[in-house]
Amino acid sequence: MSQYSIACRSRYFFMSLVLVLAALILPQTVRAEVPDKDASELLTRLGDAMAKIAGQVKPAVVNISTTRTIRTPRNPLFDDPVFKKFFGEGPSGPQKRKTMSLGSGIIATPDGHILTNNHVIEGADDILVKLSDNREYKGKVIGLDSRTDLAVIKINEKDLPTIALGDSDKLKVGEIVIAVGNSFGLSHTITMGIISGLGRAGIGITDYEDFIQTDAAINPGNSGGALVNTRGELIGINTAIFSTSGGYQGIGLAIPVNLVKNVMDSIISQGKVVRGWLGVQIQPLTSELVKQFKLKDDNGVIVVDTTENSPAEKGGLKRGDVVVEYDGKKISDPFHFKNMVAATKPGKIVQVKIIRNEALLTATVTIGELPIEPQVIASADFDNGLKGVSVQDVTDEIRQKLNIDKKIKGALINNIAEESPALGIISKGDIIIEVNKKPVTNATEYYAAAAAVEKGQDILLFIIRAGVSQYISIPAGGK
């Protein structure tokens, strides 16, 4: 389809939308008396207003291009004797190739802090930021948060244009919004739509979900771009599309600006994302459970376990409690309850209303700080098959997320360096239970066991992968 056809369709949609809105809003007697000239002037004024908003927003939306190095395992065909006979040894070791991708970002502060999605820059070797006036800068990562798919990078510049922040808690379904980004690499693509839904969660994109749903077109390259309201205020960060075909199908998702602001401020001021922690495992209420617990409705969540010495345990919460209110706010489902706890500042004293044995009780809880996953520690000192394999403890939160039994203890692989002989044999997310038949219950024991492996020694690992236990052998020379 030509650009002219696309423009015509967009103009037709826009004019039709305005006319429909006018037909719904204006009284019938007024609608009948609106002459063609006034209707044309109304469309012109509205079009000018939307163009003005787009002009205000575009300077603060940037293009982000990244370069990544992809490493693929050596093809086993190269080890086939027949192949070697006719074609020689072939390339040695894993193969490397460079890939490039495009995304969008939003200038958050005049001194060069830029908001974008975590998936736009995660794993990037180089980050290039291009402003609306075509100036280019090398971007530096300030902080990443995969749990919300947000990231903050910085460029070395001052007096940059920014976008005023709105209040996503005041949004209403049906509001007109504008999405600005770099769709398919086309600089500053503007699309318009409405808010189709709020508080979308349980989609499985991130750990903390509270998405704004919009029908404003969000396509590849729009990730990290701005979603603004009719006042030109930032209300969300475009992050994904919900699609069965991989293309745009009328459902776009954006991270609400209030959540974005909390994450951004925490990264800039503290260098990490600080979240509240209660220390409970929960499940949603079903109609059957509502009957079993003799509840009036399904608003709330059930506590199925509490972490030892956690704020929840210290505050008196127990298995079987139904949490119906947190810090003065009603609980609707587990996803929003999780977001509410995470948004609470550690140290705050919170009232939690629960139903226990059909009685309404109030527990007083001092919120703690959610333990942060340990930073990746490069095990470069290992001169064996586990070189470059880094792990972390298996926490209760990880057990809940991976749906593994509480009694399972081990070390979760969180990174495998490119130079590691184990790359392609074990994977991130595997849980190491034994190293050469020596039990491993945490990260410290893993590093001790890995350090004891001699150079040139084969390694036998007992692991859990996707819930399945199995033995894995890492040859002394790697793949």
Nearest to 329 by CA among 344, 318, 345, 316: 344
Catalytic residue, candidates 65, 113, 149, 379: 149
- Supply the pLDDT for residue 12: 47
Predicted confidence pLDDT, tens digits, the chain (479 residues): 444 444 444 444 455 555 545 554 445 544 445 567 777 888 888 778 888 888 888 899 999 988 876 666 556 655 666 656 556 665 555 566 667 778 889 999 999 999 999 888 887 888 999 998 889 999 988 888 888 889 999 999 999 999 999 898 888 998 889 888 876 556 678 888 888 888 887 777 778 888 889 888 777 777 888 899 988 899 999 986 655 555 555 678 889 999 999 899 988 888 888 899 998 888 888 888 888 888 888 889 998 888 888 999 999 999 889 999 999 999 988 888 988 999 899 999 999 999 998 899 999 999 999 876 544 333 445 778 888 888 888 877 777 677 777 778 889 998 887 778 888 888 888 999 999 889 998 888 888 888 888 888 888 899 988 878 888 888 875 55
* C-alpha distances in Å from residue 230, one per residue of 179, 183, 195, 235: 11, 21, 12, 10
Catalytic residue, candidates 65, 168, 183, 223: 223
Nearest to 153 by CA among 179, 127, 187: 127
Provide the token pair at 439: 């039990």
Q: Whose structure tokens read 């859990």?
A: 464
Q: Which residues pair with 349 in a beta bridge?
A: 366
d(CA 114, CA 267): 12
Q: Is 119 a catalytic residue?
A: yes
Concatenated DSSP letters of 365-416: EE-EEPPPPPPP---TT--STTTTEEEEE--HHHHHHHT--TT---EEEEEE
Q: Is 223 a catalytic residue?
A: yes
Catalytic residue, candidates 119, 183, 420, 430: 119
- Supply the pLDDT for residue 285: 86
User: Measured at the alpha carbon of residue 198, what is the angle toward residues 196 and 199, in degrees to the nearest 5?
Assistant: 145
- Supply the pLDDT for residue 469: 83
d(CA 63, CA 224): 9
Question: What do you get for the CA distance between the two ends of the chain, in Å?
Answer: 48
The residues, ordered by sequence, that sit 6+ positions from 52 with a Cβ below 8 Å of its Cβ are none
Q: Do 120 and 223 form a contact (C-beta atoms < 8 A)?
A: yes
d(CA 115, CA 144): 10
Strands 126-130, 136-138: parallel, antiparallel or unpaired by DSSP?
antiparallel
